[in-house]
Amino acid sequence: MTPPHPDALDPMHALLRASHHLRADQLGTAVSRLAARLGAHHAVVYLADYEQQSLVPLAGSDVPSRAPLDVDDATGGAAFRRVEIVPAATGGGTATTLWVPLLDGAERLGVLELGFDGGPPSDRGEEIRAFAALVAELCVTRDAYSDVLTRLRRNRPMSIAAEIQWELVPPLTFGTDRIVIAAALEPSYEIGGDTFDYAVNGPVADLMVLDAVGHGLPAALLSTVAVGAYRSGRRAGLPLPEISARMDQAIREQFAASQFATALLARLDLDTGRFSWVNAGHPAPLVVRDGELLPPHPCRSSLPLGLQPGPAHECSVQLGPGDRILLYTDGIVEARSPEGAFFGEDRLADFVVRAEAAGDPPPETLRRLMRSVMDHQSGQLQDDASIVLVEWRTGREEQLRL
């Protein structure tokens, strides 16, 4: 059977067909040209920078020249923040620009700008969403074997330690009808010893936040070994105390006695809401319920990884639907203002409570939280800062907030 000529294909099939031999630097051109089949006279792909403060346009032939957009100010930024299509009148009201979020699952990658003469075709809304979804997936796959999109997202050089850490972490956002996971790392271009990891396997979600002692490359190497040991234990189906012991042993064998890492290893049963954790010298998890911070759980902490004399102690608590759990490193709460005031647990919890009351989804909550932490320290963190926010849901809610 003779395959259809590309000119006969709809936008989705045409882009999919073109993608098989499409280089990353050709993506912007292909998207702009094929968006014409949606009725758009132009299209521009924007990707979020590492700090999620700006949206950077992907250039190409037939792609109109654009400047980066401020996530907090621009109309395109509103589509990114709210994860919804935002229309804007242009050309004195005679044309319309649609700003469409680019999502890989729940992960916010950027936005797609689509320009139309007059209003957008009212009968092609689902087709536009599907086209944007395919563009997002192509951004992910092109990024796997090219540096074009990675370079685009950077506004300054990145340290070797940060290169290692960004390659190590999973997506910053994951969501299903049972759980939302959102994470953040700062300083984005110099992160060293802080890292996080997670995996959702059927009805079980495993999470880990870790802070390796020291700074720069030595701390990144220690955290890399720790994450490898964590994943080895997790994938072997070990209980949390045994995973902790495997990580402790790996650090002992590879590093001097003065090198260690604090960590919090957690496991959430998505069916029951039972949340269990092992604390290896790390800040305790915070639980926010119905807009209030719950009292700290009286859980005994074990020594840091690399220094443990015996099995770690496991703790657990029963969550309620909609509870938000915060796992974080001390760089968050110990961020100090020029006047010497710590950011602190109370300020952290209050920020999350107010964001929840305002209806902010977890990824946007953390984006804004990290800006607040950076601003508190006048833009110069004295220590790495990482955080993971987890929201447990029963699956019966009307809508998953992403």
User: Both tokens of residue 330?
Assistant: 């001390």
Helix/strand number for the chain, H first, E second? 11, 17
Amino acid letter, 7: D
pLDDT at 349 over 50: yes
pLDDT at 263 (0 to 100): 96
Contact indicator for 200, 179 with CB cutoff of 8 Å: yes
| Residues 99-142: tens digit of each pLDDT | 999 999 999 999 999 999 887 777 788 999 999 999 999 999 99
pLDDT at 2 (0 to 100): 46
pLDDT at 398 over 50: no
Give mean pLDDT, residues 345-349.
85
Distances in Å between the Cα of 151 and the Cα atoms of 49, 217, 222 are 10, 21, 26
Report the alpha-carbon angle 387-392-397, nearest 5.
Answer: 135
pLDDT at 352 (0 to 100): 86
The verdict on pTM exceeding 0.75 is: yes
User: Which stretch of DSSP H or E encloses residue 346?
Assistant: helix 344-357
User: Which stretch of DSSP H or E encloses residue 55?
Assistant: strand 54-57
Distances in Å between the Cα of 104 and the Cα atoms of 69, 72, 101, 303 are 20, 21, 10, 38
Residue 110 CA to residue 95 CA, distance in Å, equals 23
Weakest-pLDDT range from 151-155, 206-210, 332-336: 332-336
Using DSSP's 3-state secondary structure scheme, residue 74 falls into coil
pLDDT at 16 over 70: yes
Other CB atoms within a 10 A radius of the CB of residue 70 amount to 12
* 256 burial type by CB count under 10 A (0-12 exposed, 13-18 middle, 19+ buried): exposed
pLDDT at 62 over 80: yes
Amino acid letter, 186: E
Q: Which residues lie below 8 Å from residue 288, measured CB to CB, with a gap of 6+?
A: 294, 323, 324, 325, 326, 349, 352, 353, 356
Residue 162 CA to residue 42 CA, distance in Å, equals 36
pLDDT at 380 over 60: yes
Contact indicator for 35, 22 with CB cutoff of 8 Å: no
- φ, ψ dihedrals at 171, nearest 5°: -55, 150
Using DSSP's 3-state secondary structure scheme, residue 18 falls into helix
